[in-house]
Amino acid sequence: MNEKMLRQLQSQMEKIQTELGDETVEVSVGGGAVTAVMTGQQQMRSVTISPDAVDPEDVETLEDLIVAVVNEAIEQSQQLAAKRLGALTGGMGLPGF
């Protein structure tokens, strides 16, 4: 791979990274009790908690739902990033991609 091709690849990767900042995944857990929106750069945009999920007598369940929604949002966000970057680097055999 020559220097020009590497520069083009780097430019395309930077463009995809920028675009991933605008793309989002939305994840709900607990039957919609907690919903999170995260960018393709793993930045949390929002967390929405249904009033029905707020039970002062059972804070632990709400805490568990928040952990679950954040973890799932991170996983889906990483999959989105891998898919976008994989389309660019697929078949090139580049280490780390």
Reported as a single tens digit per residue, the pLDDT across 7-52 is 888 888 889 889 999 999 999 999 999 999 999 999 999 999 999 9
Q: Can you give the CATH number for the domain in which 79 is found?
A: 3.30.1310.10
Total count of domains within the chain: 1
User: Which sign does the torsion angle of CA 52, 23, 42, 83 carry?
Assistant: positive
pLDDT number for residue 95: 52
Contact (CB, 8 A) for 25 and 45:
no
64 is a domain residue:
yes
Q: Tokens standing for 26?
A: 């939305």
Q: Tokens standing for 78?
A: 């990483």
What is the domain extent for residue 57? Answer: 3-89
Nearest Cα to Cα of residue 83 among 49, 35, 40: 40
User: Model-level pTM?
Assistant: 0.80
Q: How many CB atoms lie within 10 A of CB 60?
A: 9
Residue 97's pLDDT band (cuts 50, 70, 90):
very low
Average pLDDT over residues 61-75: 97
